[in-house]
Amino acid sequence: MSKLHLLALAAATTVAGPALAAAPDWGKVPAKAITLFYPGASPTEWTTKGTEHGGARAMRKGESCASCHHAEAVDIGKKIVTGQKLEPKVIAGKAGSVPVSVQAANDGANLYLRFSWKQPAGAAAEKMDKDNQVKLAFMLEDNKIPGAELSGCWETCHVDARTMPEAKDDKKTKYVKDGSLASGKYYDLLQWTSKGAKHDGYVADKRVMDGGKALLEAKGEKKGDEWVVVFTRKLGGGEGDITLVGGKTYNFGFAIHDDYTHGRFHHVSLGYTLGIDAKADITAAKQ
């Protein structure tokens, strides 16, 4: 190869940036079935109030939300989405739950997460986010936030958040009580949107959507009535990125904003664990 061709190749590589690692063979990766449900107006303050939530006593004993409700997600979502409880603003046509298949793997340098689900039947009357039919976000937590091992992402959902019925500040985002990057009390947040945007941020004393260095790629597509979204994330990262270590488990939860919704009007998972080469609800084994 001539010197001119070598220079041209080097220039092209610089412009394109480093190539991404190859994704796993998903046909060989076990899948975890998780049903997301519509949570309505159920902030963390509600979950710990025994007079309103019967599971509050179990939580005080160390039982997780998933240990009680994993098999009840469909029924819970149906009750809330129809306004039987915890929802003063019923959205006609909205699905109460969404069954999702979750797969995870790692290659020693990167974490891969794949989510797949069928588009729910029906359609809500109001398009809150006209730019995005679907958004998917997940959060990771490094066992430092009290309660995260029980409730998953609910530690970021508070009664005064901007889309809650009792909110007084329309700029109040998700947050963690006493959260900060310095203390390690924060959630690592990654999001993909159907418009094509991807975000790498965190939730500490407030939600910050961008600034992280761990997310390499987030891609999604709809084939027929099925959505598939795949994240590629470095095990390490920068500010707000939790460093994932082999042999450890992390608190994990995710949410889908379906049918052009925003804010609290999403479908959410209960809290689960993600293990990096470690036994967990979802294990990202090395490929």
pLDDT tens-place string over residues 150-169: 999 999 999 999 999 999 99
Least confidently predicted of 8-17, 94-103, 160-169, 182-191: 8-17
Q: What is the DSSP letter of 143?
A: S
- Give bridge partners of residue 285 from the DSSP assignment: 105
Residue 9: pLDDT above 60? no
Greater confidence (28 vs 6) lies with: 28
Q: State the pLDDT at residue 20.
A: 63
Query: Span 95-115, mean pLDDT?
Result: 97
pLDDT at 51: 87
Token pair in block for residue 36: 């997301």
| Integer Cα distance of 175 and 21 in angstroms | 33
Taking residues 92-115, what's their average pLDDT?
A: 96
pLDDT tens digits, residue range 216-251?
999 999 999 999 999 999 999 999 999 999 999 999
CA distances for 284 relative to 95, 162, 234, angstroms: 30, 34, 13
Separation of alpha carbons 172 and 154, rounded Å: 16
Domains defined for the chain, CATH in brackets: 30-286 (2.60.40.1190)
Structure confidence at residue 50 (pLDDT):
83
- Residue 8: pLDDT above 70? no
What value does the mean pLDDT take over residues 94-121?
96
262 forms beta bridges with none
Q: How far apart are CA 82 and CA 93, in angstroms?
A: 9
Give the number of C-alpha atoms closer than 13 A to the C-alpha of residue 86, restricted to the C-beta side. Answer: 23
User: In 3-state terms, what secondary structure has residue 163?
Assistant: coil
**pLDDT above 70 (res 11):** no
As beta bridge partners, residue 207 has: 203
> 211: left (phi > 0), else alpha (psi -120 to 50), else beta?
left
Average pLDDT, the chain: 92
- Asked if 217 and 118 count as a contact pair (C-beta separation under 8 A), the reply is no
From residue 146, alpha-carbon distances to 9, 134, 179, 247 in Å are 52, 31, 10, 22
> Which tens digits make up the pLDDT trace of 250-286?
999 999 999 999 999 999 999 999 999 999 999 999 9
Retrieve residue 99's tokens.
């069954």
Question: What is the per-residue pLDDT for 12?
Answer: 42
